[in-house]
Structure 1
């Protein structure tokens, strides 16, 4: 965190639409954005379907919220999460919310929380509907957080080659636009500012979606941009600047 005081976050997990294999990666990811002051997970805990989650609740201090499925075809879990989220929002004790689900039913909730001036971090599978993704400030695909994925069984986020990256028009155009918006008169832009611009334009953007851990690694791999490391004058610290290779 850039600030000395960590943001207070409320973490709400839809157990029906999230896999227990993400829990460690999820909490580690959330720690990058603030402190999880509230951690709640919603579902019908009398059901054997949630057995995998039960093993993790005590270890990670996640509070289970029981919600019986009274009617077939109706998702009572979503309603309970939304009501709790609004109650927590009105306490004005939080700086942001983490909504963990791949369900589009949380689209309006995310938009409402953002209207109140709070950050919304969404976490869901690649199948998550676009409206929910767009309603969040940042959206992380949970496939990159899973601890049980075999390389040969899931190729959704394997490292893409330079040719594949160059052919991804959305990625290339997004990066070029971010550099243009963040650059100085010479065309060079600080990597951090480029990353901030991309995040505002595309909440789901994450270098890990392309198989790279850092934005700098991804930009270098595309090989359409110039990359330069500059000394900041503070010991061994260096800043990364990038420039559109066409200029």
Structure 2
């Protein structure tokens, strides 16, 4: 029997995020569940959204029209917030994904989290930190744009090497604390428990560092001893400083 998947509502702020990464966003969300709601908000009379139009039908995304009634005011934000709250109270989804680079949605993220629903954020590198930090997981969309000759792979140029990873003090601290807090008496921590600890305490995603999986990133840092158990099915790690 196929396990039941979480139903995810993907809401896109087309005014503040590029269409080039939508396929990568959908592929990433497939790890967490089924995206049964796909709404793209914006003023479809605007020529600035022309790039999005060709991506709607192939990806089964429903355009949500919002006219710009007043110049200089972003009516799309309000419409998208109303849409999110309607979905929240409909009880037809178990998770939300917000594709935007606008920090104005930070209060919305916090409200959804208060209701017990995870929020997966996707935005460009210009996205303000408060929105990034508020999300359960946040991924920069630049890391999800693939070249035609590298389908299904993260471009090598995007991968941070050992030196760059070790130089990121926030990352190193996050990994070491996660291992320390989930380790058993012998100092070894199961990778799944490490991953759960990290997801519960930050918006971290290995994709932002150029790696598809947390385990691959940890290997690249060379900061931890690795022990593959159960015929390679279970990965355990330990801070190499304790060996």
With structure 1 as the length reference, what TM-score do the two structures score?
0.90
What is the alpha-carbon distance in structure 2 between the residues aligned to residue 114 and residue 157 of structure 1? 34
Q: For the aligned residues, what is the CA RMSD?
A: 2.1
What is the alpha-carbon distance in structure 2 between the residues aligned to residue 137 and residue 130 of structure 1? 13
What is the alpha-carbon distance in structure 2 between the residues aligned to residue 99 and residue 197 of structure 1? 23
Paired position in structure 1 for 2:87: 88
Shift, 1:161, TM fit: 2.2
Shift, 1:142, TM fit: 0.9
Shift, 1:6, TM fit: 0.7
Shift, 1:246, TM fit: 1.0
Contact 1:21/1:146 (CA < 8 Å) preserved in 2?
yes
Deviations 1:11-39 (A, max 9, x none): 11000111111111111111111111111
What is the alpha-carbon distance in structure 2 between the residues aligned to residue 241 and residue 6 of structure 1? 27
With structure 2 as the length reference, what TM-score do the two structures score?
0.91
Deviations 1:80-115 (A, max 9, x none): 000111111111121011111010111111111111
Residue 129 of structure 1 pairs with residue 124 of structure 2: no
Paired position in structure 1 for 2:70: 71
Shift, 1:211, TM fit: 2.2
Shift, 1:143, TM fit: 1.2
Could you say what secondary structure the match of 1:98 adopts? strand
Residue 184 of structure 1 pairs with residue 184 of structure 2: yes
What is the alpha-carbon distance in structure 1 between the residues aligned to residue 147 and residue 71 of structure 2? 31
What is the alpha-carbon distance in structure 2 between the residues aligned to residue 206 and residue 157 of structure 1? 18
Residue 246 of structure 1 pairs with residue 241 of structure 2: yes
Q: Which runs of 5+ in 2 are unaligned?
A: none
Contact 1:7/1:34 (CA < 8 Å) preserved in 2?
yes
Name the stretch that deviates more: 155-164 or 80-89: 155-164
Paired position in structure 2 for 1:227: 226
Contact 1:43/1:65 (CA < 8 Å) preserved in 2?
yes
